[in-house]
Amino acid sequence: MGNLVPIATTTLVVILFLFAATFAIKLLNGHINTAGMLETAPDRPIDPERLLVLIGTVLAGFGYFSYGLNVGAKNGALPDLPEELVTALGGGNLLYLSGKIFRTGRII
Cβ contacts of residue 82 below 8 Å, gap of 6+?
64, 67
Is 81 in the same domain as 104? yes
- Which of these, 23, 44, 41, lies nearest to 32 by C-alpha position? 23
| Domain identity same for 27 and 44 | no
Check residue 107 and report its DSSP letter.
Answer: -
Residues 23 and 58 in one domain: no
Q: What was the pLDDT predicted at 47?
A: 84
Nearest to 82 by CA among 94, 107, 64, 100: 64
Average pLDDT of adjacent 10-residue blocks, the chain of 108 residues: 75 91 94 85 84 90 86 75 90 88 76
Rounded distance, CA 47 to CA 95, Å?
12
DSSP state at residue 31: -
pTM: 0.74
